[in-house]
Amino acid sequence: MIKNSTELIAFHEMSHVKHFEEVGEVVYKNLKDLDKEMYVWKQILNNRSKWTKVELNDALKSINRLRVKKYDLEPIKIK
């Protein structure tokens, strides 16, 4: 993990670990980046009370960059 990383970055990376443990190595390695990052986004959103509005917006921008630029999907919008 990055030195001086934020709690959200640590949570993000631990969500990847949790996902890996849930589905197993073979399945995880074959998932698209979007599937992995959407899992993490859902974990962040499900725990939104832990994050500031700025942190949530940064996480939303990050997942939307991937969705729009790499997969040509519509961005996620939250209220």
Exposure letters 23-41 (e unless 16+ CB within 10 A, then b): beeeebeeeeeeebbbbbb
Locus of tokens 């979007």: 34
**Number of domains comprising the chain:** 1
Q: Cβ distance 46 to 38 under 8 Å?
A: no
Q: Cβ distance 40 to 8 under 8 Å?
A: no
**Segments forming the whole domain that contains residue 34:** 7-70
Q: What is the DSSP letter of 45?
A: H
Q: Is 78 part of any domain?
A: no
Q: Is 1 part of any domain?
A: no
Does residue 1 carry a pLDDT above 60? Answer: no
Q: What is the pLDDT of residues 21-63, one digit of tens each?
A: 999 999 999 999 999 999 999 999 999 999 999 999 999 999 9
- pTM, to two decimals: 0.91
